[in-house]
Amino acid sequence: MSLISIITPAYNAGNYIAETIESVLAQTYQNWELIIVDDGSTDNTADIVKSYLTDARIQYFYQKNGKQGKARNLAISHSKGTYLAFLDADDLWIPKKMQLQMQVIQTHNVDVVFSQGWLFSENINSKLKDFNAPIGLQV
């Protein structure tokens, strides 16, 4: 079972980061590491993330604000996985996301997998936009 390194830059993500982490913890595919880089947050992002560090798969790094690209690069430099997955600090994954994507990678020998996405308002039941990802291989 391949290790997946989940790369999560975070800046003032206190309102969302717990739900983001919970969506990773709920994954049916369990061989992952979550690398969160706090990009100079001034809110309670650090306190929330640190409360999850009892799970050895979760790592936290702080850097002065350098923007999202620098935060992603720092996380990648600490990654140990065979695969990288990108998850922003205000995004959520459905529980089978990594399992389904790993099945596609293994079955079809592909290098890149992406998935459908939706934009929600503050109320997760209120879908504002469907990104209508083009279908290549459908699972």
Give the pLDDT confidence of 47-61 residue by residue, as tens digits: 999 999 999 999 999
What is the third-level CATH fold of 4-130?
Answer: Spore Coat Polysaccharide Biosynthesis Protein SpsA; Chain A (3.90.550)
pLDDT at 115: 73
* Closest CA relative to residue 28, chosen from 91, 116, 97, 89: 97
Residues of the chain with pLDDT under 70: 116-139
Q: What is the pLDDT of residue 114?
A: 76
Q: Where are the domains of the chain?
A: 4-130
Q: Which of 2, 129, 111, 127 is nearest to 137 (CA)?
A: 111
> CA angle at residue 1 from 62 to 56, to 5 degrees?
30
Contacts (Cβ under 8 Å, ≥6 apart) of 87: 6, 7, 8, 20, 24, 34, 93
Q: Write the single-letter amino acid at 38.
A: D
Asked if 139 and 104 touch (Cβ cutoff 8 Å), the reply is yes
DSSP letter at 113 equals -
pLDDT at 139: 47
| 78's tokens | 């600490």
Spatial distance between the Cα atoms of 1 and 136, rounded to a whole number of angstroms: 24
